[in-house]
Structure 1
């Protein structure tokens, strides 16, 4: 496999559906395929359409263009050897060829959410999941293109295996075929494939034992069987093209016709939609199209340089913003391919995805949605795949919600929204003071916030193996209390501001503001408990019995990066200087000092090995944002000791081309690991590049 280019590409449709594969056009993951349809947006992701196995007959010579890795270890056919070029802009495009012919293929997944013309509400939106494919031929003589259809009907986390219980029906129409799986569990998702020219022949056959080497390395299921209902034969003269469309759902009478221009029109429509991201018009218009009079804070630059890199970051950022049917509102996918929408990740990513791009109405919707789901003073960390109650299993999502609300208000001065959300702020404060789930409660003796519950991990360092947190941080974590301090400062500021408006009980709000300010001062004083003068750094946690964890982790950097910082300038400088020496890499911050005996420098292997390394030295790109904000606060006169070039090279040339990975190995050469496209990685780069 040394000559296989297994770098990846990704297409999404704003609903949770996606298409993904490799430059070499070989499937190396369970998550590679051309149509993973989110049947219950953004969940229910189901592989329906794996790929088309293509061959081209020229001068009576049949040339296979596909590439497959089989369970035997063989790679055949070897179409990748004829691959001349690959590009992701404006859409993924492959070009195969020999001396006397050339065949290109392009893919696009059109945006799947359309609001009705009479209403701007997402509740009235229409959704569609579809993929367009176009092949174009150039050569000296007429050629015959054969496209064999490979399909499935399985959850995106699993693999399909041939079984007598699994059958596929096919109904042939004019230049289209309707497909649906049938099993003992019932009927699968119906969908259809149609084309602009060619003759289809039913030829049902199973292809067994595809191998996914990336899953082999991850210790997961790595074999797949795919079903082929038949193949399409297309006669192509020089300059000819054939366009195909895969679309889920039952047959529709009113569907648009498929023409030779459909693909180009879809590309143009997508480019026009993307061009609106980050523009003033996009930022100031709500769903109903009414202009908003937002006032920008100088801390939230709306118009970064219009460079190719910035445009790619905008495009990548848009892939994470999806529609959730259960709440009829937008949400943010934490990463691709396998993550869902998570509260903590969404709130940390929100400033970069929305505020610096001027998507204020989106920011407002996201904050409003998570605020609406506040229970027991907690903001949910995950929404389940079914429409049941979210999971409230983190201590910091509520604090990130307040911090992000503050940044939104700084950028927009939207005090009406503050007035509407202030009851949520009060609910969080009351729950933390009085106590809530997982024994989360403020310690009355010092005002610090802590928690104590066995077998769970409630901070962002949340890996648990066999019921035991790998990075146990119960007690009083440093970044949680820095967030708590910042939250109290925001609350004091907001109560004072609201007391001056024409709404609410002015006296009560003014008194609340004073009380929040007093609590903030107590917490600021108590934050000094985290200072380790021998090390010149912050303790990572303080236990309830006052034991202190002196491990060098990036949580100290998070603690000095927030809008309100409770630490001294001299302390901030020492923290950043030590973090530069021990934690900083070209791709972000390590999660643990390499000199620590618990440090693990590579995050690979089966799930247990990966989980044990996840926060024990692994590099996290999103943390570079906190490092830069802290540096700009405490060391503004010194150049930031970080070059963007390695991350930009990664963006353009590595892993998932056009996006940024979730994590990297702690040890050089810092191989990218984890999800190949991560929301908060992109978002934090966008805040500071």
Structure 2
């Protein structure tokens, strides 16, 4: 019997790979960014070309109170290789006068992501040198592995680490201070930035550390220039590592907050690769389309541990189900922390779509402990000891959607039983009214939300006292979520034999539906109102929020009415990677996204394309037309996007005008989650459709490639 060939995955045959056509171009190399994470909120990230363009870039950005207090400890490396009488650089930096020196990207022959792990291959004369970067899961430890693939003689490698100690939101000067450096062994240096700072270590697997501290001044971070922020800072060189690398040899540098760490690089490398393979096995996607595999690995970057926040509420006494730490979801890299809304929207794709129901249960249970006044937290601040904010009208309702999806996927009645009192409390608070004028209007049973100066929906940009899209009144997606919340609670209660209570919630949901259809539709508009009963009356601005009236588990629109909304949203808002936040026909539309914080935030929901909305649109399209392949076709361009901006992942937003340049966060949880969730769901539906029509089932990759 012939031996079975191992499954080929994006780890073995990368979906993201480039040759000199991209690697040799500074513009293309700066546009593309890589990211590795550790499950605690720490990360390492930079550009393909090696130039740090953001304050957030660095090789060790450690979450000192997971997942927050993220602090840049190692900004980068200056890498030189001497071979056959020539000196080559592997690194690149930009200075305040625009000079880029050195220019290591010129020697970059190839770049690839093995799963989510970046690999560079440099051509140095007739020699090939490979560099890999990853983080150990569960510790703030970054590894950089150099491997000589071929050389006619030994290489001499010299690496100068550039360290600092600053919050990742801003840059800092070297004036007036100098980190302490302790050469604790021939191959190790420990950095003590100042009294009370977390120490961190730099370790080499071979060679020697040569002390010699000095400041390197005036690095430029061009993305901060574009954002209207301080764009230059300084880094400290505590010394350099030097070693000889024979042909076929390897050398590793370890950067870690565990100052007792030993450089066991082989074991660490095997562990990180095995963990990626295990994620694919757990999700059952080893033979799935490469996009599904890539997004399954990308999803893992957002699920992190959280130190508990002390609070009180109906769920505050819910104990953890296991001894595992509480888990949460980082909304986006680089700068977002964990947000209630983003977590609940992303939960279905990041956990259930990736075969991780235990993580889903952990997150649902953890967040239940923070419910107060019937509301889930909007966000957890990016620092310790601060109470979460509760200014959200939708996070709590998305929580109910997430629990419903979990229950259907797992049949876990125990968790629903445990959380049912929290759900009842949530609905009771919404009926009688809670913070920020969130409450049911007794005249029509629709949910009202909002007060001046407070942003409550996902369109939440605020600059100073200016709420850019206040949407005070009865927003369309809030009421679609409210209707679904009532239907879900009725379903849960009926399944537990409480028919009387179930009937009460069912009757209320019927009244909500009748009012919704009466208020949000108008004969002279083929689409729904965005908000009714606002300060200026009903708002029929064409925005994407109405798509949830079709896409949620209990749709408010069906048949031709659903198709009309899908068609109108598709005609004016649909792009290759998501939906515009405002119609280009609207006078307030902004087709580009750039400038200082005021310029960016006032444009944020006034035209930019939001990637997470493509999932809801594809789901609504399938609901309206019943064609899973046509809906899956809508997601196909996302494969190309995985090779741009944040490599192997999904951007937060893109410009509304073609060619839709990526903007915002390079990796956004709900963007990854929604593409993954709907790709897998529609692929299953398309498979069933093929089987029912001709009895055959082409492979997922064949169906998608055929598009």
Q: Would you say same fold, with TM above 0.5?
A: yes
From 590, 599, 608, the equivalent of 1:609 is: 599
Deviation, 1:70, is: 0.5
- Whether the 8 Å contact between 1:524 and 1:567 is mirrored in structure 2 is no
- What is the SS of the residue equivalent to 2:354? coil
The separation in 1 between residues aligned to 2:432 and 2:99, in whole angstroms, is 63
Alpha-carbon displacement from aligned partner over 1:573-605 (angstroms, at most 9, x marks no partner): 110111111111111111111001111111111
Structure 1 segment 106-121 matched on structure 2, within 5 A: 106-112=132-138
Contact persistence 1:326–1:387 (CA under 8 A): no
Equivalent position of 2:464 in the other structure: 466
**Aligned twin of 2:8:** none
Rounded to whole Å, the distance in 1 between the matches of 2:535 and 2:102 is 64
Return the offset for 1:642.
4.6
Listed as ranges, the matches of 1:204-603 within 5 Å are: 204-249=213-258, 251-252=259-260, 255=261, 257-258=262-263, 262-277=264-279, 279=281, 282=282, 306-326=288-308, 328-384=325-381, 385-499=383-497, 509-528=498-517, 529-543=519-533, 547-603=537-593
Cα shift at 1:64: 3.0
**1:584/1:264 Cα in 2 relative to 1: closer, same or farther (>3 Å)?**
same
One of 593, 614, 624 as aligned partner of 1:634: 624
How far, CA to CA, are the matches of 1:545 and 1:104 in structure 2?
A: 61
**1:50-61 paired onto structure 2 within 5 Å:** 50-61=75-86
Residue by residue over 1:406-447, the C-alpha shift from the partner in whole angstroms, topping out at 9 and shown as x without a partner, is: 111111121121111111111111111111111111000100
Q: Distance in 1 between matches of 2:636 and 2:154?
A: 46
Q: 1:145 to 1:544 in 2, by over 3 A?
A: closer
Show structure 1 runs of 4+ deviating over 6 A: none
SS at match of 1:560: helix
1:176 Cα deviation after fit: 1.1
Match of 2:637 in 1: 646
Q: Which of 140, 161, 171 pairs up with 1:129?
A: 140
Structure 2: which 5+ runs fail to align?
Answer: 1-24, 310-324, 680-707
* Partner residue of 1:188 out of 187, 197, 216: 197
Matched, 1:73 2:73: no
Give the SS at the match of 2:279.
coil
1: distance between equivalents of 2:285 and 2:204?
A: 42
Asked if structure 1 preserves the Cα contact closer than 8 Å seen for 2:477 and 2:548, the reply is yes
Aligned-residue offset at 1:448: 0.5
Mapped partners of 2:90, 2:546: distance in 1: 52
2:46 aligned counterpart, secondary structure: strand
Q: How many angstroms apart in 2 are the aligned matches of 1:382 and 1:319?
A: 19
Q: What is the aligned partner in structure 2 of residue 199 from structure 1?
A: 208
- Identify if the C-alpha distance between structure 1 residues 65 and 140 changes in structure 2 by more than 3 Å, giving closer, same or farther: same
Deviations 1:462-509 (Å, cap 9, x if unpaired)?
Answer: 00123121112011001101110111111111111122xxxxxxxxx3
Root mean square deviation, CA, Å: 1.8
Name the counterpart of 1:146: 158
User: 1:353: how far off?
Assistant: 1.0
- Aligned match of 1:503: none
Deviations 1:63-92 (A, max 9, x none): 333211110111111221111111121521
CA contact (8 A) 2:285 2:293 kept: no
State the shift of 1:569 in Å.
2.5
- Extract unaligned runs of 5+ from structure 1: 113-127, 284-301, 500-508
Which residue of the partner structure matches residue 123 of structure 1?
A: none
CA distance in 1, matches of 2:559, 2:454: 34
Tell me the distance in 1 between the aligned counterparts of 2:499 and 2:235: 66
The separation in 1 between residues aligned to 2:636 and 2:416, in whole angstroms, is 39
**Within 2, Cα distance between the matches of 1:348 and 1:525?**
26
Superposed CA deviations along residues 334-379 of structure 1, whole A, max 9, x for unmatched, are 1101110111001001111111222111111111111111100001
**Partner residue of 2:89?**
64
Deviation at 1:546, TM superposition (A): 8.0
Cα 1:607/1:475, change in 2 over 3 Å: same
- Match of 2:185? 173
Structure 2 residue corresponding to 1:685, chosen from 671, 675, 682:
675
Instruction: Work out whether residues 612 and 674 of structure 2, in 8 Å CA contact, stay in contact via their aligned partners in 1.
Output: yes
* 8 Å Cα contact 1:145-1:235 kept in structure 2: yes
Deviates more, 1:579-588 or 1:49-58: 49-58
Among 175, 178, 203, the alignment partner of 1:163 is: 175
2:35 aligned with 1:10 = yes
Q: Is the 8 A contact 1:343 1:380 kept in 2?
A: yes
Match in the other structure for 1:124 = none
TM-score by length of 2: 0.87
Q: Distance in 2 between matches of 1:178 and 1:71?
A: 29
Q: Would you say the 8 A contact 1:527–1:567 is kept in 2?
A: no
Distance, in Å, in 1 between the alignment partners of 2:100 and 2:267 is: 36
Structure 2 residue matching 1:577: 3-state secondary structure? helix
Give the drift of 1:458. 0.1
For residue 156 of structure 1, report the CA deviation from its aligned partner.
0.8
CA distance 1:635–1:179, shift in 2 (3 Å): same
Distance change (3 Å), C-alpha of 1:640 and 1:600: same
Counterpart Cα distance in 2 of 1:684 and 1:352: 6
CA contact (8 A) 1:590 1:619 kept: yes
Structure 1 residue 190, shift from structure 2 partner: 0.2
Given that residues 471 and 534 in structure 2 are in contact (C-alpha distance below 8 angstroms), is that contact kept between their aligned partners in structure 1?
Answer: no
Which stretch shifts more, 388-397 or 664-673? Answer: 388-397
Q: Deviations over 1:607-655 (max 9, x none)?
A: 111111111111011111111111111211583395434211111x200
Deviation at 1:394, TM superposition (A): 0.2
CA contact (8 A) 2:179 2:191 kept: no
Per-residue deviation, 1:142 = 2.4
Q: CA deviation at 1:305?
A: 5.1
Task: Say if 2:619 and 2:631, in contact at 8 Å, map to a contact too.
Answer: no
Q: Is the 8 A contact 2:450 2:456 kept in 1?
A: no
Count residues with an aligned counterpart: 634
Cα deviations by residue, 1:129-155 (Å, 9 ceiling, x for unpaired)? 111111223322223211112111111
1:332 touches 1:341 (CA, 8 Å); kept in 2? Answer: yes
SS of aligned partner of 2:374 = coil
Q: Distance in 2 between matches of 1:165 and 1:448?
A: 59
Judge conservation of contact 2:216–2:236 (CA < 8 Å) in 1: yes
> What secondary structure does 1:538 align onto?
coil
1:204–1:227: 8 Å Cα contact kept in structure 2?
yes
Q: C-alpha separation between the residues in 2 aligned to 1:630 and 1:143?
A: 58
Find the aligned partners of 2:347 and 2:136 in 1 and give their Cα distance: 24
The answer as to whether partners of 1:170 and 1:229 remain within 8 angstroms in 2 is no
8 A contact 1:39–1:46 mirrored in 2: yes
1:45 aligns with 2:35: no
CA distance in 2, matches of 1:26, 1:637: 45
